[in-house]
């Protein structure tokens, strides 16, 4: 019965002309991005790349994260190899700089005009990071064993002249710029947030292949068990992502001219997982730094051997514990940067708002900080547990690279899916006075 309701709702969305045009435009952009993920960059030997992918045994978690966000385009050495990762990194950097640089903080408070300026800075930084990342990536790809594992010795880049390397860097940088432009087009003319939807599509594209590989390697009974675990994980993620603490706010009545304003009741929604997937990205990046330094050092040195044995292998207990603790730390760190209780309390006081039973001003800020600290703890523990699921799957089923129901993949899939459905529902309510799901 529920399936019929969902199909009816989808049909109703496509019967609305304006909404149908937006949905088809969004799907068209997603198809173009997926096609570009399989077009090899200039100078790349496509057969050699496919041969190395079949033998790939890389344990590089940061490269695995970038490969996840690019929908497998990274290991394909395609024109869209970097995907949207440079834009994500640039957005995070600009967001963090708004707390450090007064000029950025002033632009953030200017409204739409300041946001437009910050978006422009993000685009410039994206291109700069794309040049840096593509250069690093092409340098690593010159030695296929560093990218695909020691089993690969095929000539992935037959021509390693400076002209070919520069052309590859320019092509991958242009590919990142093109994806960024298409994502902004989806935000403007399509449905939902364009950048998030492109990441959603790239990650979801790998689900069928991953599940099929699990079934073939571990048996179909294990496949069925993982599907049941996946359904439970998805339900848990949906429950937590929708969970929030609603802090009641009362606005006093004010007389402005001859009119009475205020006297309304509302609330401040504080999500359990306010940090989203950012702490997982930060933790993966930080744990990769020692492995990156070790690659350029003597492999026989004691500290290099220790790093390769303990911080490169994802199934090692030290790696798991460090990963878990870093996620908790960055969850608190990111929430402290993005949510300012003092600023919220000041804005409430300015417009005559107060929390019942709490004095306005400093006591309100302390009360909000107290609540935020308490709800961030279960949110950070939840992020850590979800992120460890692929590592646990590797230990139990040897399915780290194929396990899709965990880590950043499931967090992004569920989060973007919920947000997109909400936007479609609001559009239907504006036109038909009924939602996406009855």
Read off the CATH number of the domain in which 370 is found: 1.10.3370.10
Q: What mean pLDDT, rounded, does the chain reach?
A: 80
Question: Do 200 and 225 belong together in one domain?
Answer: no
pLDDT digits (tens, 9 = 90+) for 247-290: 888 887 666 666 666 567 888 889 888 888 888 878 877 777 77
Q: Using a pLDDT cut of 70, give the percent of the chain over it.
A: 83
CA 272 to centroid of chain Cα atoms: 17
Give the angle subtended at the CA of 302 by the CAs of 296 and 307, to the nearest 5°: 60
3-state helix, strand, coil in the chain (%, to 5): 70, 5, 25
Question: Do 252 and 364 belong together in one domain?
Answer: yes
| Average pLDDT for 348-360 | 83
The answer to whether position 227 is within a domain reads yes
249 by DSSP, 3-state: which? strand
> Between 4 and 221, where is the model more confident?
221
Question: Do 199 and 220 belong together in one domain?
Answer: no
The answer to whether position 131 is within a domain reads yes
Nearest to 306 by CA among 296, 294, 288: 294
Task: Give the integer Cα–Cα distance in Å for 330 and 432.
Answer: 43
The answer to whether position 420 is within a domain reads no
Question: Do 244 and 192 belong together in one domain?
Answer: no
The answer to whether position 18 is within a domain reads yes
pLDDT digits (tens, 9 = 90+) for 109-135: 887 888 889 889 999 999 999 999 899
pLDDT band of residue 58 (cuts 50, 70, 90) is: very low
Question: Do 56 and 153 belong together in one domain?
Answer: yes
Question: Do 162 and 19 belong together in one domain?
Answer: yes
> Between 61 and 285, where is the model more confident?
285
- pLDDT at position 403 over 80: no
Structure confidence at residue 44 (pLDDT) = 86
| Average pLDDT for 315-332 | 86
> Between 316 and 419, where is the model more confident?
419
Structure confidence at residue 191 (pLDDT) = 85
Structure confidence at residue 59 (pLDDT) = 47
Judge contact between 337 and 328, C-beta under 8 A: no
The answer to whether position 181 is within a domain reads yes
Beta bridge partner(s), residue 246: 269
Radius of gyration of the chain (CA): 24
Tokens linked to 402: 């194929």
Strand-pair category, 353-354 with 259-261 = unpaired
pLDDT band of residue 3 (cuts 50, 70, 90) is: very low
* Start-to-end C-alpha separation, the chain: 12
What residues contact residue 21 under an 8 Å CB cut-off, 6+ apart?
A: none
Owning domain of residue 103: 1-206+433-438
pLDDT digits (tens, 9 = 90+) for 195-248: 888 888 888 887 777 777 777 777 778 778 778 888 888 888 888 888 888 888
- pLDDT at position 327 over 80: yes
Judge contact between 30 and 22, C-beta under 8 A: no
Q: What are phi and psi of 271, to 5 degrees?
A: -70, 150
Structure confidence at residue 371 (pLDDT) = 92
């Amino acid at each position: 019965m529920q399936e019929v309701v969902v199909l009816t709702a989808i049909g109703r969305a496509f019967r609305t002309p304006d909404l149908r045009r937006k949905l088809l435009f969004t799907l068209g952009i997603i198809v173009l991005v997926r096609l570009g993920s399989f077009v090899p960059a200039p100078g790349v030997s496509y057969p050699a790349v496919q041969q190395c992918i079949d033998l790939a045994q890389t344990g590089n978690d940061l490269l695995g994260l970038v490969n996840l966000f690019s929908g497998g385009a990274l290991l394909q050495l395609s024109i869209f190899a970097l995907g949207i990762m440079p834009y994500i990194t640039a957005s995070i950097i600009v967001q963090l700089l708004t707390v450090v640089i007064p000029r950025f903080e002033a632009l953030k408070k200017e409204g739409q005009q300041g946001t437009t300026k910050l978006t422009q800075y993000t685009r410039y930084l994206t291109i700069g990071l794309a040049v840096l990342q593509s250069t690093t990536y092409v340098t690593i790809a010159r030695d296929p064993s560093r990218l695909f594992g020691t089993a690969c010795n095929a000539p992935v880049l037959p021509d390693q002249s400076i002209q070919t390397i520069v052309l590859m860097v320019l092509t991958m940088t242009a590919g990142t710029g093109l994806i960024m432009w298409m994502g902004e087009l989806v935000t403007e003319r399509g449905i939902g947030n364009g950048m998030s939807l492109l990441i959603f599509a790239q990650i979801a594209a790998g689900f069928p292949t991953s599940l099929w590989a699990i079934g073939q390697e571990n048996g179909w009974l294990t496949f069925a068990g993982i599907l049941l675990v996946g359904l439970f994980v998805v339900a848990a993620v949906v429950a937590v992502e929708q969970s929030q603490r609603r802090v009641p706010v009362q606005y006093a009545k004010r007389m402005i001219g001859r009119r009475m304003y205020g006297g309304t009741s509302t609330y401040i929604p504080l999500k359990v997982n306010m940090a989203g997937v950012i702490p997982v990205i930060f933790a993966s990046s930080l744990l990769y730094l020692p492995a990156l330094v070790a690659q350029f050092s003597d492999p026989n040195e004691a500290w290099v051997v220790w790093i390769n044995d303990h911080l490169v292998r994802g199934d090692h207990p030290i790696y798991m514990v460090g990963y878990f603790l870093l996620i908790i730390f960055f969850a608190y760190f990111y929430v402290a940067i993005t949510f300012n209780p003092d600023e919220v309390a000041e804005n409430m006081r300015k417009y005559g708002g107060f929390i019942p039973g709490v004095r306005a001003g400093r006591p309100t800020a302390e009360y909000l900080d107290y609540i935020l600290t308490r709800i961030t703890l279960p949110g950070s523990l939840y992020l850590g547990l979800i992120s460890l699921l692929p590592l646990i799957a590797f230990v139990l089923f040897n399915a780290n690279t194929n396990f899709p129901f965990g880590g950043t993949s499931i967090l992004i899939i569920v989060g973007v899916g919920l947000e997109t459905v909400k936007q479609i529902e609001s559009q239907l309510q504006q036109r038909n006075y009924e939602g996406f799901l009855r």
